[in-house]
Homo-oligomer: A and B are copies of this chain.
């Protein structure tokens, strides 16, 4: 456990990595000379779209589930989710052989419900509002005694997501900067903690959709503001930055930039066509930062996290 009651340390991230290693993929790092030439730098893409359940979320959820003691785990785990965290928690619970209860809004995409159901989790439907989701989850917890696993504002989740950076820094030597998309901030906080603990000289840059820019504004203000009425195709990045996440980000992140949806779509198409890999809008946001600010990458070696690859192929944003 961490020496701090809340903020995880590099030791927690390393312990998470050892705990989850047999449950997740060590994802590959992709590289394209043509994408390098476009920006005059060297870009290395950590492909968490090739992770289990198609997103880095498998890491944090696995760390949380595997870290429970027998008594805590016995009644299962629960969360509310319309997206990848629900599937990741269902997957991790199945691997441990415990029940999972996933509260999902009634308007969640059929493909997301199917993914959760495929892992044998119990789906509890609710109205598509945050209060309804939280109320329904509270009822599920009371009824079942299940252990709650939140999607990002949680030290175990942050430590799990930070394992992305442990691998990336092993896979690519002498990085100048690491670029991460930010929504709730689980991935960004974990990666920033790991990178700065290992080598404070590496720049950590966050990229956020302009239509859901609460992290950008919070970072500038020095005070956490909530995201209201997000408007972006990057559906995985619409959440408000978590409290713990913001504290870590303030301390360890160097730069936050925003990108327009049109740049996100350009980034997706370039990644699909050049890397031949399926990237969801949220996953392309890190590379969109390169398209928006190429001069920041000239002559530098960057590691960029492709956070996920789950999207409806019948509804592509172009």
Query: At the interface, yes or no: A277 with Cβ under 8 Å from chain B?
Result: yes
Do residues A318 and B309 form an inter-chain contact, with CB atoms below 8 A? no
A21-37 contact mask (Cβ, 8 Å, vs B): 1 or 0: 00000001000001000
B residues within 8 A CB of A278?
Answer: 272-273, 276-278
Q: Interface range on chain A: under 10, 10 to 19, 20 to 34, or 35 or more?
A: 10 to 19
User: Does residue A49 face the partner (Cβ distance < 8 Å to B)?
Assistant: yes
A156 lies within 8 A of chain B by Cβ: no
Seed contacts A273-B278, A276-B277, A314-B318; 7 additional CB < 8 Å A-B pairs = A28-B28, A269-B313, A272-B313, A277-B277, A277-B278, A278-B278, A313-B318
Let me know if A183 is at the binding interface, CB within 8 A: no
Number of copies: 2
Q: A181 CA to B47 CA in the complex, in Å? A: 27
20 contacting pairs across A/B (C-beta < 8 A):
A28-B28, A34-B118, A47-B276, A49-B276, A50-B276, A54-B276, A269-B313, A272-B278, A272-B313, A273-B278, A273-B313, A276-B277, A276-B278, A276-B309, A277-B277, A277-B278, A278-B278, A313-B318, A314-B318, A316-B316
Point out which of A278, A309, A316 has the most chain B C-beta atoms below 10 A from its C-beta.
Answer: A278
